[in-house]
Structure 1
Amino acid sequence: MDTIIRNVRIDDSKPLVDVAITDGKITVIKEQIEARADIEIQGNNHILIPSFVESHLHLEKAFVMDRKANRSGTLQEAIAVTAELKPTFTHDDIMERSRQVIRLLVQNGSTHVRAHAEFDPGQGFTGFDAVLKLREEFKDVISIQVVAFPQEGIFKYPGTEAMMVEAMEKGADVVGGIPYNDRDAKEHIDFVFNLAKKYDKDIDLHQDFADNADKISIDYVAKKTIEMGWQGRVSVGHLTSLAALEPDRRNEIIQLIKEADISVMCLPATDLHLGARNDTYNVRRTLTPVRALRDAGVNVCLATNNIRNAFTPYGTGNLLHISMLAIPAAHLGGADDQLTILPMLTTNPAKALGLKNYGLEVGKDADLVLLNTDKISSVILDIPAPLKVFKRGRVVAETEVNQQLKF
């Protein structure tokens, strides 16, 4: 045994346990492990959970808010501002800002992230190539899935179609897309699915990000998923338009999403900030209908999306802060609802990302976080500090907490 983490709680209804790790894998979980290990860590009755999974993030666009602001707070201006800034991003600039984000993620307990990396004929592959490099640089600290993401559309920006193919050849893990920002949503979706089939890759779409449902295409995505046999391999982020539908039509589409086994990433920090900017009274919340999706059995995740840029002018890299936004905005504060939130930061996004060796079980990768609270049920409300963050059994981040308060 390389490491034993002693006296930790992994289930509120069961006694404290010790967790042993060998060669990066969890090998023993029991109340008291008699053997000794090279490294012994005292959990001191704190909780141990699988590490957080950041399922939707843009690394290369972070920390640029001070360069050009989004004055209106609208999605349209966010896209325009970012399109103006992207050609000015250099490789070194992107690397520096992205490393800052990665440090925040790991310090706050995330050891997996799906990063949407952009490219287009105007900026080339500068950002995309940087994220590929970061994937290798930080592989022992955080696992990065790289999404080939055409922010400016595929067919309305000549040259992007060929770049999508080149991005897959360069080593993208996932085929991305943004149907609502192209000349024809169905044409865009068809291209993405065909590319995913050619390279045998999962799909992750920025989907139906609007206050209304006039141009919704998630139903087409769901039908296409089933037609192509890609169930369980498609994720969508935003999906705010779904909340604008009448309940009967909304529920009909949710059943399609469930049948297609599509995961939905709710992005409250961005969507609450950009949404309903034209509402003059009774302003809408503009979030995907989390409760209706969850209750129908859809795999729902909570994610960050952007940090301190034109889309989201704040952010800490802490998924517990994201969940705290979702609690009131999505009506998740009820006693029964609270129990469903932590999985939206851990096991649900792990499923969406296809992580086969994730979880606090014998035989799984020891990607774990020791949190400064003594009940699993308290994590969401306490927003506890991550005392130690483990990547394949190695401590990659830790926080010292002074519990002595002086008044």
Structure 2
Amino acid sequence: MDILIKKAKLQEGQELKDIAIKDGKIVAIENNIESDAARVIEANGKVLIPGLIESHIHLDKALIADRLPNKSGTLQEALSVTAQLKPTFTREDIIDRAERTLEMLIMNGVTNIRTHSEFDPSQGMTGFEVVMGLKEKYKDLVDMQVVAFPQEGILKAPGTEEMMYKAMEMGADVVGGIPYNDTPWDKHIDLVFEIAKKYNKPIDFHQDFKDDADGITIEYVCDKTIAEGFVGRVSVGHLTALGALPKERLEPIIKKMAEAQINVMSLPATDLHLGGRHDEYNVRRTLTPVRALRDGGVNMCIATNNIRNPFTPYGTGDVIQTAMLAIPAAHLGGAADLPTVLPMITTNPAKALGLDDYGIEVGKKANLVLLDTESVTNAVIDLPIRLFVIKSGKVTVETTKTVKINR
């Protein structure tokens, strides 16, 4: 064996397991494995989970919060400030910031990333080219899916449609869209589906990112998903406008989303920061209704979105910390709710990203994280240190700690 992990906790109430890894795959999971291994890791009852998944992030515009601050904290100013900054980004600048962000994610146990990489006529394809290069450069540390993302719209920014096709020809993994920032929005959605069909790629929309529910387009996306044969292959981020809908209006939308198997990435760090800025009292949380969507059969994920930029002026690259933020904000701390949170940063986004080789099962890729906690139930709220990160059967991150209380 290449690696043998001894006495790890995989499930609450289950006997501790040994996990054997060879040639990048999990080859055995048993109560006791007696075998030689190049590396033995003594888990001593610590929790072992599949690699964490960052399912919605923007590497190319991370770490720019100090350059031109978003003083109002609104989405409108975040869009405006970022649009002003993008033409100033050099290739070297994007590489530096994206690499620093990637290393933050990797150190925190992320083994799979879906990153939205944008382009428009004012900044060209530089950022997209950089991210595609980093996908190859960091492949031994993290698996990346790159979304061709038209942040400034497609139809209202002439030349962007051609850039969308160019990005797909350059190897983009996913077709992105942002209907709330383009007009007409239905033609924007139609074009995204047209491109996705041409290249047989999944779709990921920035969707209905607003405090109120006027003019939402998620129902159109659902209908289009079913009509075009894309059931299960469409994801949406934000979707905050659904939080403003009464139950009788929300329930049929959730039913339609479940039928279309739409994946939802809730982005609490950004949405809590930008949302409700014009509310003078009873300020709304402005999150997508996570519990209602989950209970309605929608595949719910939690992701970071941005790190230290005008949209989100904080962040450490720790998706467990983001999930912890979602627990009080989305009322996920109840005894029945808490166990559903860890899957929102592991198995649920794996489904959304179409990762067939994911999970702690024999034959699956050995992407694993050993957490410094002995409780699967509390694996998020303990905010545990990532003791070991294993990517494709190789130890990529090791963390040691020394704690001393002086009395």
Q: Same fold (TM over 0.5)?
A: yes
Q: Report the counterpart of residue 282 of structure 1 in structure 2.
A: 282
Q: Say which SS state the counterpart of residue 376 (structure 1) adopts.
A: coil
Q: Report the counterpart of residue 327 of structure 1 in structure 2.
A: 327
Q: Report the counterpart of residue 273 of structure 1 in structure 2.
A: 273
**Does 2:92 correspond to 1:130?**
no
Alignment of 1:247-396 (within 5 A): 247-396=247-396
Q: Say which SS state the counterpart of residue 370 (structure 1) adopts.
A: strand
Alignment of 1:107-122 (within 5 A): 107-122=107-122
1:67-114: CA deviation from partner (whole Å, max 9, x where unpaired): 000000000000000000001111111111111111111111110000
C-alpha distance in 2, partners of 1:230/1:13?
39
C-alpha distance in 1, partners of 2:115/2:249?
32
Instruction: Kindly state the Cα deviation for residue 406 of structure 1 after the two structures are TM-superposed.
Output: 2.8
In structure 2, give the amino acid aligned to 1:218. Answer: I
C-alpha distance in 1, partners of 2:214/2:226?
23
In structure 2, give the amino acid aligned to 1:72. Answer: S
Q: What stretches of structure 2 of length at least 5 have no aligned partner?
A: none
Alignment of 1:96-111 (within 5 A): 96-111=96-111
C-alpha distance in 2, partners of 1:68/1:331?
34
C-alpha distance in 2, partners of 1:329/1:35?
46
Q: Report the counterpart of residue 41 of structure 1 in structure 2.
A: 41
C-alpha distance in 2, partners of 1:15/1:362?
17
**Does 2:233 correspond to 1:208?**
no
Alignment of 1:134-173 (within 5 A): 134-173=134-173
Identity among equivalent positions (%) equals 59
1:274-301: CA deviation from partner (whole Å, max 9, x where unpaired): 0011100110010000010000110000
C-alpha distance in 2, partners of 1:337/1:41?
32
Q: For structure 1, which segment, 267-276 or 41-50, has the greater mean C-alpha deviation from structure 2 after superposition? A: 41-50
In structure 2, give the amino acid aligned to 1:319. Answer: V
Instruction: Kindly state the Cα deviation for residue 24 of structure 1 after the two structures are TM-superposed.
Output: 0.2
Q: Say which SS state the counterpart of residue 18 (structure 2) adopts.
A: strand
Instruction: Kindly state the Cα deviation for residue 43 of structure 1 after the two structures are TM-superposed.
Output: 1.0
Q: Report the counterpart of residue 75 of structure 1 in structure 2.
A: 75
C-alpha distance in 2, partners of 1:390/1:58?
24
1:98-134: CA deviation from partner (whole Å, max 9, x where unpaired): 1111111111111000000000000000110000000
C-alpha distance in 2, partners of 1:331/1:230?
31
Q: Say which SS state the counterpart of residue 337 (structure 2) adopts.
A: helix
Q: Say which SS state the counterpart of residue 214 (structure 2) adopts.
A: coil
Q: Report the counterpart of residue 61 of structure 1 in structure 2.
A: 61
Q: Say which SS state the counterpart of residue 340 (structure 2) adopts.
A: coil
C-alpha distance in 2, partners of 1:379/1:14?
15
Instruction: Kindly state the Cα deviation for residue 16 of structure 1 after the two structures are TM-superposed.
Output: 1.0
C-alpha distance in 2, partners of 1:367/1:332?
27
Instruction: Kindly state the Cα deviation for residue 13 of structure 1 after the two structures are TM-superposed.
Output: 1.4
- The alignment of Structure 1 onto Structure 2 pairs a total of residues equal to 407
Q: What stretches of structure 1 of length at least 5 have no aligned partner?
A: none
Q: TM-score when scaled to structure 1?
A: 0.99
**Does 2:378 correspond to 1:402?**
no
Instruction: Kindly state the Cα deviation for residue 403 of structure 1 after the two structures are TM-superposed.
Output: 4.0
In structure 1, give the amino acid aligned to 2:47. Answer: I
Instruction: Kindly state the Cα deviation for residue 272 of structure 1 after the two structures are TM-superposed.
Output: 0.3
In structure 1, give the amino acid aligned to 2:112. Answer: H
**Does 2:246 correspond to 1:246?**
yes
Instruction: Kindly state the Cα deviation for residue 321 of structure 1 after the two structures are TM-superposed.
Output: 0.9
1:128-161: CA deviation from partner (whole Å, max 9, x where unpaired): 0000000000001000100000000000000001
In structure 2, give the amino acid aligned to 1:133. Answer: G
C-alpha distance in 2, partners of 1:393/1:386?
16
Instruction: Kindly state the Cα deviation for residue 219 of structure 1 after the two structures are TM-superposed.
Output: 0.2
C-alpha distance in 2, partners of 1:179/1:333?
33
Instruction: Kindly state the Cα deviation for residue 405 of structure 1 after the two structures are TM-superposed.
Output: 2.9
C-alpha distance in 1, partners of 2:81/2:34?
60
C-alpha distance in 2, partners of 1:405/1:382?
19
C-alpha distance in 2, partners of 1:106/1:258?
32
CA RMSD of aligned residues (A): 0.7
C-alpha distance in 1, partners of 2:41/2:334?
35
C-alpha distance in 2, partners of 1:15/1:403?
29
Instruction: Kindly state the Cα deviation for residue 44 of structure 1 after the two structures are TM-superposed.
Output: 1.8
Instruction: Kindly state the Cα deviation for residue 404 of structure 1 after the two structures are TM-superposed.
Output: 3.6
- Provide runs of 4+ in structure 1 moved above 4 Å: none
In structure 2, give the amino acid aligned to 1:264. Answer: V
Instruction: Kindly state the Cα deviation for residue 19 of structure 1 after the two structures are TM-superposed.
Output: 0.4
C-alpha distance in 1, partners of 2:125/2:197?
23
In structure 2, give the amino acid aligned to 1:378. Answer: N
Q: Say which SS state the counterpart of residue 86 (structure 2) adopts.
A: helix
In structure 2, give the amino acid aligned to 1:282. Answer: N
In structure 2, give the amino acid aligned to 1:388. Answer: F
Q: Say which SS state the counterpart of residue 301 (structure 2) adopts.
A: strand
Instruction: Kindly state the Cα deviation for residue 247 of structure 1 after the two structures are TM-superposed.
Output: 1.1
Q: For structure 1, which segment, 304-313 or 39-48, has the greater mean C-alpha deviation from structure 2 after superposition? A: 39-48
Q: Say which SS state the counterpart of residue 361 (structure 2) adopts.
A: coil
Q: Say which SS state the counterpart of residue 60 (structure 1) adopts.
A: helix
Q: Report the counterpart of residue 25 of structure 1 in structure 2.
A: 25
Instruction: Kindly state the Cα deviation for residue 29 of structure 1 after the two structures are TM-superposed.
Output: 0.4
C-alpha distance in 1, partners of 2:279/2:398?
44
C-alpha distance in 1, partners of 2:109/2:101?
13
